[in-house]
Amino acid sequence: MADNAAAVAGADIVLGVRRPAAELVAGAGRGALVISIADPFGHEAELAELAATGVSAFAMELMPRITRAQVMDVLSSQANLAGYRAVIDASAEFGRAFPMMMTAAGTVPAARVFVMGAGVAGLQAIATARRLGAVVSATDVRPAAKEQVESLGAKFIAVEDEEFKQAETAGGYAKSMSAEYQAKQAALTASHIAKQDIVITTALIPGRPAPKLVSAEMVAAMKAGSVIIDLAVERGGNVEGSVPGEVVTTANGVKIVGHLNV
């Protein structure tokens, strides 16, 4: 086909990874089915335009998290790829190799990678960074994440108080934490981040803006040449100063990567 619009014209079912634009599916005609990741929260205007075309849209990410539906869990499959890609992007932006290298000329230490958010994307990022030879640590507000992080050979960093013990929903998602807990967690991670070469943030809360995990002060404390990958940039970002679709270099030489559609 010459273009996407020509391919969709007259179709009864339109399949996509991400929600197609209304003008793209208009040619499919009223009553057609659109099956994709719809990303409904915060995109009411785009969904209204899609509804105006007369198609019926199915949001695959709202599939219930039950055993029978695991084969259709698009969030896990896409997050898995995003976590892998985050490490590959970080290695491309980083000025050194990941593993420790010992030569006659001296020793180059292994890169230190800190992953914030140990969901599907975070765990894949941990595993990929470990395979590349990095020294990896990670944090998450869910108690169950500690064992998962440590099983991959990474060090777990968190404030393990009573709120932490109840910070997971029945569906396995992280709850929004109180301002008090976030302050304690920020104090714990601030000194840790300053020692890292690469920080990868993956924290998302369904239907809400992404929580701010890395402040401008934390970024300013990092070494020149460090890299931050913000996988939540489309939801407002976990990192202060991240810009959707751009790689920002701060005054102290830290790269903040905000790639879209990872």
Residues 58 and 88 in one domain: no
Top-confidence range, 31-40, 46-55, 121-130: 121-130
In this structure, what CATH number is given to the domain that contains residue 115? Answer: 3.40.50.720
Question: Which element (helix H / strand E) includes 103?
Answer: strand 101-103
Residues 47 and 111 in one domain: no
- Which one is catalytic: 39, 84, 130, 173? 173
Residues 54 and 80 in one domain: no
Residues 52 and 149 in one domain: no
CB distance 171 to 65 below 8 Å: yes
**70 part of a folded domain:** no
Question: Which element (helix H / strand E) includes 149?
Answer: helix 144-151
Residues 108 and 228 in one domain: yes
pLDDT in tens, 200-253: 999 988 778 898 999 999 999 999 999 999 999 999 999 999 999 999 999 999
Residues 168 and 54 in one domain: no
Residues 112 and 165 in one domain: yes
**152 part of a folded domain:** yes
SS (H, E, C) 174-233: ECCCCHHHHHHHHHHHHHHHCCCCEEEECCCCCCCCCCCCECHHHHHHCCCCCEEEECCH
- In the residue annotation, 96 being an active-site residue is answered as no
Query: In the listed set 41, 62, 83, which residue is the last one of a domain according to the structure?
Result: 62
What total number of domains does the chain contain? 2
pLDDT in tens, 114-156: 999 999 999 999 999 999 999 999 998 888 889 999 999 999 9
- Which one is catalytic: 70, 77, 178, 191? 70
- Which one is catalytic: 76, 130, 181, 215? 76
What is 60-86 written as a DSSP string?
GGGS--SGGGGGG-HHHHHHHHHHHHH
**262 part of a folded domain:** no
- Which one is catalytic: 65, 96, 131, 208? 65
Rounded CA-CA distance 255/73 in Å is 32
CB distance 192 to 114 below 8 Å: yes
Query: In the listed set 39, 62, 85, which residue is the last one of a domain according to the structure?
Result: 62
- In the residue annotation, 65 being an active-site residue is answered as yes
Residue 182 sits in which domain range? 75-257
Rounded CA-CA distance 255/162 in Å is 35
**201 part of a folded domain:** yes
**234 part of a folded domain:** yes
Give pLDDT, residue 1. 47
- Looking up tokens 């020692």 gives 195
